Amino acid sequence: MEKRLNKIEEEALREIEAAKSGEELEAIRTRYMGRKGYFTEFLKSMKDLPQDQRPVLGAKANALKAKLTKLFESKIKTFGKKEGILESSVDITMPGAEDMRLGHKHPITKIISRINEIFIGLGFKIAEGPEIETEYYNFEALNIPLEHPSRDVFDTFYIKRPMLLRSQTSTVQIRVMENEKPPLQVIAPGKVYRPDAVDASHSFMFHQVEGFMVDKEIKFSDLKGTLSLFARQMFGEDAKIRFRPHFFPFTEPSAEVDVSCIMCGGKGCRVCSYKGWLEILGAGMINPKVFEAVGYNPEKWTGYAFGMGVERIAMLKYGINDIRLFFENDLRFLRQF
């Protein structure tokens, strides 16, 4: 038995020494160490030995196994990287077992990007403001004084007064105007918060894109032209808009703006409650009081502002009937965009 072991050692060393490629070496390894290899066979045949000889020979066999394993390992390295990878028996060109899907943007992010793109094309630049705001930026500077009844309609999450979660992106109008001089053309996308009960059309958090322009002699027709161009780029060439008189403290005059129903083209259907129109934003000419709050001369400067609901636009564009779908993180929904 011992002789046989010596012979295996001798021949294995010689063959390993002579191996010229990783493949050849692998074949040798299988021949000796594989499941039916010489070495394995030898170990199996040890059971026929008398009890007292087994430990000695067993120890020798184990030492040889360790020696050969080391030899195979160091020899494989001499064949360079390519052979080494082959030998590791991992085929890195095989597709993975996991279904690896590429991630993509959330539908809300996509709509915001599209809105940004359209306004950047018109010369607007992007600004952002904090989501945790003060009463001053969310209300006072926007001509909504403390006791003003309109403050009720902007239901608000207060943190600890005067800190609050902003209920509108109009705050960014003030922050930008405080820091920069006109002329200005700015859009400000971001999250806003309102303590609304969650249902198919309400969420306590949603997104708005604020937009405003300040220059000399800005007219209502500039606002109209800009928004109708936006509607056509967003919803298609046939999209029309209409202005309905409304009230906002920070614009005067103010309007709510509707887009012709993208489902029925204005004929009337369930989506638009047979009105033919869908509300998408609030807008108006910047109130001189706002200019005063930021130190602009209202005699000199004019401007318009608008604020649109991003979820609303996404729902119209994609035909989605429940706002909650955007925030539930259901991949079956999100993967469709």
- As measured in angstroms, the least distance from the Cβ of 335 to ligand PHE is 31
Cβ proximity to ligand PHE: between 182 and 282 the closer is 282
* Of the candidates 227, 225, 286, 223, the residue with the CA atom closest to the CA atom of residue 253: 286
**Alpha-carbon separation of residue 240 from 118, 122, 265, 319 (angstroms):** 16, 19, 9, 18
Cα(321)–Cα(270) distance, rounded to whole angstroms?
11
- Per DSSP, the three-state class of 70 is helix
Q: Which two tokens stand for residue 283?
A: 């807008």
Cβ proximity to ligand PHE: between 15 and 256 the closer is 256
* 127: CB partners within 8 A, 6+ apart: 172, 175, 176, 186, 187, 188
Cα(40)–Cα(56) distance, rounded to whole angstroms?
17
Cα(322)–Cα(311) distance, rounded to whole angstroms?
10
- Per DSSP, the three-state class of 170 is coil
Cβ proximity to ligand PHE: between 32 and 137 the closer is 137
Cβ proximity to ligand PHE: between 83 and 210 the closer is 210
- When CB distances to ligand PHE are compared, the closest residue is 307
Cβ proximity to ligand PHE: between 12 and 144 the closer is 144
- As measured in angstroms, the least distance from the Cβ of 266 to ligand PHE is 24
- As measured in angstroms, the least distance from the Cβ of 305 to ligand PHE is 4
Cβ proximity to ligand PHE: between 243 and 333 the closer is 243
Residues that bind ligand PHE (CB under 6 A): 168, 170, 210, 248, 251, 254, 282-284, 305-307
- As measured in angstroms, the least distance from the Cβ of 99 to ligand PHE is 42
- As measured in angstroms, the least distance from the Cβ of 139 to ligand PHE is 11
- As measured in angstroms, the least distance from the Cβ of 262 to ligand PHE is 21
Hey, what long-range contacts does 86-90 have (CB within 8 A, 24 or more apart)? 86/22, 86/23, 86/26, 87/22, 87/25, 87/26
Cα(176)–Cα(188) distance, rounded to whole angstroms?
10
- As measured in angstroms, the least distance from the Cβ of 169 to ligand PHE is 7
Chain centre distance of CA 64? 57
Cβ proximity to ligand PHE: between 276 and 282 the closer is 282
